[in-house]
Amino acid sequence: MENAVKSVLVAVELPDYIPDIQETIRLCETYGSKIGEVFYQKRREPDPAYFIGRGKVEMVREFIKLNGIELAIFDNTLTGSQLANLQDVLECEVLDRVELICRIFEKHATTLEGKLQTQYALLKVQLAKLKGRGVELSRLGGGIGTRGPGERQIERERRAIRKRLAALKKQLEEIEKNFETQSRRRRQSLATVALVGYTNAGKSTLFKRITNVDVLATDKLFATLSNKGKVVWWKGKKFFLVDTIGFIKNLPHELIDAFKATLKVVLEARVALLVLDIRKEREVDIVNEVLDDIGFEGRRIVALNKVDLLGEEEAALKIGNMKSRFGQDVIAISALRGEGVRRLLDVVVEVLDEGGL
């Protein structure tokens, strides 16, 4: 990885959170960092000052100092004071999981809408971190009714962020209003079918296979952040197929909130095609959780992608497991090779016909 930022990854397992190290390493690589070491710790609860224990802080600090590390990435959500304390001790930039994902979105945003949405999400994260710093600094004040220069600076930064957030919100509301107008016209004549799924599961490859539209399809997380759609004709039935942004475990609420207009295309869909990597069964639960969170009420069809990467026996076992959970709306496909895609479209048309769409 050329020009990659030398980094360390710190992950804390808590009673309600078990880190997925391999996934987080891929997130780091997508951001442009090269992980030199992974520090893992189990805790009953986070340390109030550093999230990790004091001994682990010292281990991380020594490794950073000896190896010229530029960035420490935490696979957890840090408070503003924890972030500031860690940066002071580690003497390098520190990112937590939320800001890491937001920055990846920022790097990959190509449309005006995507750029505004990621800016909005990042500013909300920064504002939350400043609130944490404000509480810490107020405790360090010189007495009742006094405020130090650091706290006053933070107040100025808060005002500037809030002003920018208000401006961005106004622009995003205008985009959402335009989206509503366009989608209302489309709903009058066409049913929408949304490709949803875990990031890097092959949604864009499937969209390209079905529509022949040249879209970015690459082995990276969050390669596409804006919706792309096209009218599809299949066996006399016409519908609007749209490729949406990928989901991920613990997708930050700041991003879900910022991408409301983008995700609304899923809400208006009559059918959601859940595109999943057949080798990663657990991802179906994460995708379904996000669909539940945003209030999707339409029909769900599971497309188990990348079947060509498994042997026949293993593939049959995976397909059987999924069908036992979801019934017959499970189709094994290879978006890259085209296997099973015709059958998948047949099922989509059948479902639309059932609803008289």
- pLDDT given at position 114: 75
Identify whether the C-beta of residue 341 lies closer than 8 Å to the C-beta of residue 315: no
Is 279 inside a domain boundary?
Answer: yes
Q: What is the mean pLDDT of the chain?
A: 83
pLDDT surpassing 90 at residue 55: yes
pLDDT surpassing 50 at residue 220: no
Do both 314 and 251 map to the same domain?
A: yes
Residue-wise pLDDT for 103-123, tens only, equals: 887 887 777 777 888 888 888
Is 20 inside a domain boundary?
Answer: yes
- pLDDT given at position 63: 97
Q: What is the CATH number of the domain that holds 22?
A: 3.40.50.11060
Residue-wise pLDDT for 145-185, tens only, equals: 445 555 677 788 889 999 999 999 898 888 777 766 766 66
Q: Comparing 255 with 329, which gets the higher pLDDT?
A: 329
- pLDDT given at position 344: 95
Per-residue pLDDT band at 266 (split at 50, 70, 90) = confident
Domain that holds residue 71: 5-105
- Euclidean distance between CA atoms 57 and 38, whole angstroms: 13
Q: What is the CATH number of the domain that holds 233?
A: 3.40.50.300
Q: How many domains does one find in the chain? A: 3
- pLDDT given at position 227: 64
Strand runs labelled E in the chain: 5-13, 33-42, 71-74, 93-96, 191-197, 228-234, 237-243, 271-277, 299-305, 330-332
- pLDDT given at position 112: 79
Q: Comparing 185 with 83, which gets the higher pLDDT?
A: 83
Q: Which of 215, 240, 211 is nearest to 226 (CA)?
A: 215
Q: Does pTM top 0.85 for this prediction?
A: no
- pLDDT given at position 142: 43
Is 175 inside a domain boundary?
Answer: no
Do both 85 and 129 map to the same domain?
A: no
Is 343 inside a domain boundary?
Answer: yes
Phi, psi of 286, deg, nearest 5: -65, -45
Lowest mean pLDDT among 91-100, 208-217, 265-274, 328-337: 208-217
Do both 208 and 264 map to the same domain?
A: yes
